[in-house]
């Protein structure tokens, strides 16, 4: 198993495809990311636009 590093919710690619609107509502309402898994491995994190902008103000994403 892998460490989700503070991400409270996990969704599969299948759940992302079928429930995109619900997942977007979740990240907007909770201000928490959703870890997206593909083949039981972490691949991405869905975060709200507001959270993304706040992170971008603090971190130069090109340096990552």
Mean pLDDT of 8-28: 92
Please state the φ and ψ torsions of residue 47, each to the nearest 5 degrees. Answer: -130, 160
User: pLDDT tens, 22-40?
Assistant: 999 999 998 888 999 999 8
Max intra-chain CA distance, the chain: 34
Strand order in the sheet with 41-46: 9-12, 34-38, 41-46
Say if pTM beats, i.e. exceeds, 0.85: no
Give 1's contacts (C-beta < 8 A, 6+ positions apart).
none
Residue 4 has pLDDT above 50, yes or no: yes
Residue 44 has pLDDT above 90, yes or no: yes
Helix (H, G, I), strand (E, B) or coil at 8: coil
Query: Where do runs of H (alpha helix) occur along the chain?
Result: 13-18, 20-30, 49-58
């Amino acid at each position: 198993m892998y460490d989700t590093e503070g991400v409270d919710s996990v969704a599969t690619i299948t759940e992302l495809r079928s429930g995109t609107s619900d997942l977007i509502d979740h990240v907007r309402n909770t201000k928490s990311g959703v870890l997206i898994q593909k083949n039981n491995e972490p691949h991405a994190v869905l975060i709200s636009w507001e959270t993304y902008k706040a992170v971008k103000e603090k971190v130069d994403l090109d340096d990552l």
